[in-house]
Each structure stands twice: as structure tokens, then as C-alpha cells.
Chain A
Amino acid sequence: MLRALMGVAAGLAMAGFATAASAQEEKVVNVYNWSDYIDETILEDFTKETGIKVVYDVYDSNEILETKLLSGGTGYDVVVPSAAPFMVRQIQAGALQKLDKSKLPNLTHVWDQIAERVSKYDPGNEYSVNYMWGTTGIGYNVDKIAERMADAPTDSWELVFNPDVVSKFSDCGVYMLDAPAEMIPAALNYLGLDPNSKDPGDIAKAEEALKKIRPYIQKFHSSAYIDSLANGDICLAVGWSGDVFQAIDAAADGVNVKYVIPKQGAQMWFDQMAIPVDAPHPDNAHTFINYMLRPEAVAKASNYVFYANGNKDSVQYIDAEVKDDPAIYPPEDVMEKLYTVDSYDPKTQRLITRAWTSVKTGQ
């Protein structure tokens, strides 16, 4: 929340700056991306080469980005929303503009498998280009789990959704993403139902499964688990792959954290580079996106953030530590088990949010 609030403050400050900048048609591009999501030397290299100054600002939740986009007049030229359920809706609402593909010659490097999965949300990939993608899985503290349960099923969603298992870890802390669009599909998937189901009966079953494990969950939060895992404060967290890798990277001495894509499969997410409909510098935005489509540039970002990107030619430039990690670049058989979730219509959205509130508060 701290980061979110600071992001809002910074955004307000920047929006003011951006309007001032556009009046003079300066060589500026205003980029609004997730926090800790780029190697900043890439931005310096970009400015050196193109002479375009990058004004970089960050957020830590899709909701904050979406609210700003829907209010309009953000002053941002490049934004990086998650494909589902966010970007789909932003496209429908008319908040983003179509990309001019003639200005993006580096599109040839795009990984077709990723682009194809994304086209479910952005038909024809007309509005966006993949920046990074990953999974929603489990981050856990190896030693604390082993201490409490020697044969813990660490390769399975049982670790979280089986009350008999997860109850063993409640004393040392279990966190869960505060994101109904992630957790309801995960529960559906664990129950063997279609993670994409919009049937109220199925959603009620997912709600029931989540309520059974509710007593053992200490906190629902979408960013606090990074620090808590790294400091060894908690046993396990359902979280986004890259965030858990950040926790692994920042882990204190003697804290051994691991990330796993459970064998039942996991949700895949895509963070997409896109241009707001009212971007003040659309040309510079295209130049920036085209630069980020360079295999060397985006590989540098992957090496820094520990996420897979949607650029197949970048793989050769990626460190072995990243590209050989099956939790980041999953092997083919695991890839097949990863699922994506469509965007929800307003009625289903409300149903899901309501089920989620009910799980969290018992109301």
C-alpha cells in the first residue's frame, strides 16, 4: 500500500510534468510500469541512442493503473497492464490506441506461442506487445516447511488447498494474493473444474474450498509477501513468480525460499506494453516499444527481473540462471498445463469479488 500511495503521488506529480512537456513537443517518453520491473541501464541506453528522455514512473497494482487510465489524461505514453482481466477491459473501454505496426519493425522477434495466447485478450495483437509473462504459483520457505512436515507435497496445490496440510503451517504464516481473479481460478483448477468457469455453482464451490482453508491464512495481500518470504517471517505464500524470485534474491542469510509451479497447473499472466489513447508522445512511445522488442534489450530486463519475456530471439542473451530455471521458462509439458482466464463480465466480476470478500471476512 505504501508503494501504491507513493505511486499515486508520483503519478500526480508526473501528470503535471507531462502536460508541460508535451506543449513543447520535447523528446520525452513517459513510461508507467510496475515497480522493480526493469534494469534501469536499459533506459539510459535508450536515451543515449535515440535522444529521447525517459520519464519513468511505477505502480504496484493493476487496479491503480486501470483507475488512472479510465479517468483519462494520465500523460503516460507507455503503460504495462496485465492482459487479463485488465487490458481486455481497457481495450473495450477505448482507453488504449491501436499500435502502428509499421513503426515496430522488431515485431519479427516476437515469440509466436506467447503472442497467440495473448491474442485471446487482444485479438490480432493489435493493441499490445508482450513485455514479460509468468505464472501464479507457490513460494515457500524450504526449511520451515520441512520442519513442520517432512513429506510436504511441495509440488502440488495440496500444499495450500488441503486443510490437513496447510493447517500445519498456520503457526508460521501463510499469505495469499488479495486478487480474486487469481485465487478463484486457482481454487477451481485444484477442484478439477474449469478455471475459466463463470457458473455461479462452480464459483460457490471455489468459495467453499477457500473458506475451508481460511482459518490458516494469516493475510491476503498482493505485495507484502515479498518482504515476508525474504525475511523468513512466513512459511508459504501464493504469489506471482517474479515477486517470489525477488524474495529469493533478497532473502536474508539462512532463509531458503523456493518457487514452484504446482503439478496441477497454474495461471499464466502477461504484462503487455500498450499506448494510452490520449498519449502525448505516441511516436516516442512506438520508438520505446520497438527498442524493448530488441532481443538484447529485453534479455537484459529478464536477467534483472527474473521473468520470462515474450521475445523468442532474446533467449540466447539470457543468463543460464534464468533460462534454465523450469519455474521461469517451464518445459513444454508444464507449459501445456498452464491456463489463462478470460475477462469477466460485470455480473461475474461482482459475483467473484463478493465471493472473495466473503472468504476474507467471513461475511
Chain B
Amino acid sequence: MAGLRLFFGRWIVTIVPYVWLLVFFLAPFLIVLKISFSATAIAMPPYVPVFDQLAGFWEKAKELSFDNYLWLTQDALYIKAYLSSLKIAVISTLITLLLGYPMALAMARAPDRLRPILLMAVILPFWTSFLIRVYAWIGILKPEGLLNQALMATGLITEPLQIINTDWAVYIGIVYSYLPFMVLPLYATLEKMDYRLIEAATDLGATPLKAFWQITIPLSLPGILAGSLLVFIPAVGEFVIPDLLGGSDTLMIGRTLWVEFFYNRDWPVASAVAIILLLLLVVPIVIFQKMQERSA
């Protein structure tokens, strides 16, 4: 009896994540994949063919084609948008890492009673809507905004800096929004680190800098990877930040997708763009998986 119950308990625990993935990832993915092979039409929904019944399945299936993917290669716009998104995401990830690492390190080495407060301070921004926080940056960065006023008051600049509606504002927005996603995994690994290792290194004559490079960094590598991916992956597909803070020449794939979907009403091409984006992101995730397996 007990064995049977244990068997079912295990079975349920294993099956739940698979059902979750099936319903919330695989099913939507297949729908989008199917639309990406369809052709656009003035209809409800705006593409053909629609598999609303089993009859005529094969005739309809023959209408599916790779045309939309070919289209993506014919216009340099899409490739440039992908590359530009990757560039913005890579640079943003590096900046969040450079800012987030010292923060996480300081938090991990802070006295025990301070840590919950510091952790709270990192999580606190989530209590306000993401959109509202991005909107607030418009107020800070605009020509008559807080930043320019402060800089002018100190006499550092005489003319207001044009930051809003440029790529700079996009970097600021992404780094600001995703910093907690970098800090939290880093903090988790650094906090668990055994600091006697550092003491041992110092006793053996290593300088603090050498101990940091040879012990702290390698031991926190899983945190660095996890944090970087948590920042990099959503940053590539980011839409809201470039729309609100970026200029009109900020080319990002999230916006290109939006234009295809809403302006051109070309759901098939929009779906193809989304599929390619997904494939591009799967690569770093798989690398991460492999690395984790190796370290485990």
C-alpha cells in the first residue's frame, strides 16, 4: 500500500512540470509555429489555412509553406534588428553584471541582521508596476527632467543632455529594470560561499585581489551565469523599454515583431520572427544547461 502511494506520489511530482510545459509552452509554441507557415489573408483570423475541422486536413496542410522564413532573409531589416537586439542585450547584461556583482558581494558579506533589509531593498521596486517605473525614467531623463536639472545646478553641463529617445536611455532602462535579476542569483551563490577559503588563501600569502579572482569568482560562476541569462534573455525580446525610452531609430526585434503583428497585420511573418527569436535564445539556454550538468 505504502509503496503504491509512494509510486503515485512520485509519478505526480514528475508529471506536473511536464503538463505545465505542455500546456503553457509547447501548445502555444506549436500554434505560433503553425501560423508561421500560413499565409496572410483578410479574414477572421487574418491568415489561411485554419484547421477548424478535421475534414480536408491534408489539402489545407499542403498550403503551408516556408515563404515567411524566406521573406525574413530577403529583407536586411530583420537580421539587423536581431543583431541590434543581441548587441543591446549583451552590453546591458555586462553592465548589470559589473554593477550587480559588487552589490551582491557587499550584501553577502554584510552583518547577518542587515542582510534581510538589504535583500528587501533589492526586491522592493517590484512592488511598483514595471510600467510605472519605466515611465518615471521619462521624467528623470527628459531635457527638463530631474537629471538634467541636477547636472545644470552643479554646473557640470550648461546645455541639457539629450538622453531620452536615444539608445542611452534604453541601456539605462534595461540595466535599471533587470538589476535585481542579476543581484539575486549572485547573492544566493555568494552567500553560500565558505569564506574560510578566502582566509586560507590570505594565510597562504594571496593578496585580497588574487583571492577574489582565483576563489570568489570561480565559485560564484553559477550565479554569474544564472544572473546573466535572466537578464540577457528578456532583454533581447524587450519591447516596452525601447518603445517608451528609446528613439525611433532604436531597432529591436520586439518592436519589429510588434510592427509586423499590429501594423502589417501579418500574423504569419510575426510568428516566423518569434520562432527565430526563440531558436536564438534556446542556444544560450542549452549551453547553460550543459554547464550546470558539468558542474553538478
Q: Cβ of A303 < 8 Å from any Cβ of B?
A: no
Select the residue from A89, A92, A218 with max chain B CB neighbours within 10 A: A218
Q: B46 near A362 (CB under 8 angstroms)?
A: no
Q: Separation in Å of the A255 CB from the closest CB of chain B?
A: 12
A-B contact count (CB 8 A): 78
Q: Cβ of B249 < 8 Å from any Cβ of A?
A: yes
Residues of A with C-beta under 8 A to B251:
361, 363
A360 to B263, CA, bound (A): 14
Q: B165 near A94 (CB under 8 angstroms)?
A: no
Nearest B residue to A71 via CB reads B45
Q: Cβ of A146 < 8 Å from any Cβ of B?
A: no
A95 to B42, CA, bound (A): 10
Q: Cβ of B44 < 8 Å from any Cβ of A?
A: yes
Nearest B residue to A218 via CB reads B165
Choose from A217, A219, A346, A354 the contact partner of B40 (Cβ within 8 Å): A346
Q: Cβ of B264 < 8 Å from any Cβ of A?
A: yes
Q: B44 near A218 (CB under 8 angstroms)?
A: no
Q: A63 near B262 (CB under 8 angstroms)?
A: yes
Q: Separation in Å of the B203 CB from the closest CB of chain A?
A: 56
Q: Cβ of B18 < 8 Å from any Cβ of A?
A: no
A26 to B232, CA, bound (A): 49
A361 to B251, CA, bound (A): 7
A61 to B258, CA, bound (A): 13
Q: A92 near B247 (CB under 8 angstroms)?
A: no
Nearest B residue to A227 via CB reads B138
Q: Cβ of A178 < 8 Å from any Cβ of B?
A: yes
Residues of B with C-beta under 8 A to A66:
262, 265
Q: B264 near A70 (CB under 8 angstroms)?
A: no
Interface residues of A in 310-363 (CB under 8 A from B): 346, 349-350, 353-354, 357, 360-363
Choose from A69, A219, A277, A349 the contact partner of B247 (Cβ within 8 Å): A219
Interface residues of A in 188-237 (CB under 8 A from B): 217-221, 233
Q: B44 near A1 (CB under 8 angstroms)?
A: no
Q: A362 near B263 (CB under 8 angstroms)?
A: no
Interface residues of A in 81-98 (CB under 8 A from B): 89, 92-95
Choose from B131, B143, B248 the contact partner of A178 (Cβ within 8 Å): B248
Q: B144 near A70 (CB under 8 angstroms)?
A: no
Residues of B with C-beta under 8 A to A178:
248
Q: A72 near B262 (CB under 8 angstroms)?
A: no
Q: Separation in Å of the A210 CB from the closest CB of chain B?
A: 12
Residues of A with C-beta under 8 A to B40:
346
Q: B43 near A93 (CB under 8 angstroms)?
A: yes
In the complex where A71-B45, A72-B45, A360-B248 touch, is A1 in contact with B263 (Cβ < 8 A)? Answer: no
In the complex where A93-B42, A233-B144 touch, is A361 in contact with B249 (Cβ < 8 A)? Answer: yes
**Interface 9-mer from B72-80, B103-111, B114-122, B280-288:** B72-80
Q: B247 near A363 (CB under 8 angstroms)?
A: no
Q: Cβ of B211 < 8 Å from any Cβ of A?
A: no
Q: Separation in Å of the B86 CB from the closest CB of chain A?
A: 16
Q: Cβ of A180 < 8 Å from any Cβ of B?
A: yes
Q: A362 near B45 (CB under 8 angstroms)?
A: no
Q: What are the 8 A-B residue pairs with the smallest beta carbon separation, nearest first?
A: A63-B262, A220-B248, A360-B248, A92-B42, A361-B249, A70-B46, A1-B243, A93-B42
Known: A233-B143, A350-B264, A350-B266. 20 other contacts (CB 8 A): A5-B240, A70-B43, A71-B45, A89-B265, A93-B42, A93-B43, A220-B248, A221-B248, A233-B144, A277-B44, A346-B40, A349-B264, A353-B263, A354-B77, A357-B77, A357-B259, A361-B77, A361-B249, A361-B250, A363-B80
